[in-house]
Structure 1
């Protein structure tokens, strides 16, 4: 199938042409994600999302192809993957900030436990101290 034929068929809503496109460029598109710190699953998701974007643009009639289909889809994949990496980076930074909150909570719990232990009688206090803190 030629580029023009694929484009025209997808523009007309031909799902078989989309399947053909999916299989034809799968390796090339997923390789880009995998070589840029992605997993096989992430690569597949990005490629599928890119094809959905391509399909929607084609069927809406607003897309004028000025390059090869593979170039267009590749750029969609790159943009989607860049957004995903940015999202992961934001989540990672948020997780780095979380332990500070957890450490504060942990310190607060330790203070509460220490106060409770101080209120116990000597025998109970010794039993707990030996059980939890003695080796």
Structure 2
């Protein structure tokens, strides 16, 4: 955690809210505004979402739930981004789940990790919609690098031709699941 972040967290813990807010209204607000404006939002939307993110941060810190290993800016951005996605869905706006133009410095590597975690969670969510046999077959192919002959033996298929047909069917079905979920597809591509 950056020194500024430690000071801000300590200010929140000790009730020196104005000192904490002086920092928070500089850099994090600018980044959140930029994201929301690039994703179908207005300046008022951005300010409202930012206020909500600040409240969440204060609650986390005061309740002892804030992990000080998190980057403070990254934490606020993630909360704001998730909040904006929910709001935009409710308003039926089309948003880009991308981070084009968001400056990610070496100090915000944690934000990159959070984004990758969300992408992985999205992938797992879609993957779990598959039948168990398809999950096994695709896992054997993608993660275990098994041959069709090995898959046929593991799955109890007649021969590798059956394994190939099943693999093709499962791959096609998974592609349909992903393509039917446009937001997830966009998010996974970034």
Q: In which range does the TM-score fall when normalised by the shorter chain? A: 0.5 to 0.7
Report if the CA contact (8 A) 1:34-1:43 is conserved.
yes
Of Structure 1 and Structure 2, the greater helix share is in 1
Matched, 1:82 2:85: yes
Detail structure 1 runs of 4+ shifted over 3 Å in the superposition. none
- Map 1:62-77 → 2, pairs under 5 A: 62-77=65-80
Among residues 14, 17, 21, which one is paired with 1:15 in the alignment?
17
Root mean square deviation, CA, Å:
1.7
The equivalent residue for 1:40 is 43
* Count of matched residue positions in the alignment of Structure 1 and Structure 2: 90
SS of alignment partner, residue 27 of structure 2: helix
What's the TM-score, normalizing by structure 2? Answer: 0.44
Question: Structure 1 residue 30: deviation in Å?
Answer: 1.0
Report if the CA contact (8 A) 1:13-1:59 is conserved.
no
Higher relative contact order (CA 8 A, sep 6+): 1
Matched, 1:28 2:50: no
Question: Structure 1 residue 11: deviation in Å?
Answer: 2.1
Question: Structure 1, residues 21-54: CA drift from partner, whole Å, max 9, x if none?
Answer: 1233221111111100101110110011111111
SS of alignment partner, residue 25 of structure 2: helix
Matches of 2:13 and 2:82 in 1, distance apart?
A: 22
What's the TM-score, normalizing by structure 1? Answer: 0.61
SS of alignment partner, residue 89 of structure 1: coil
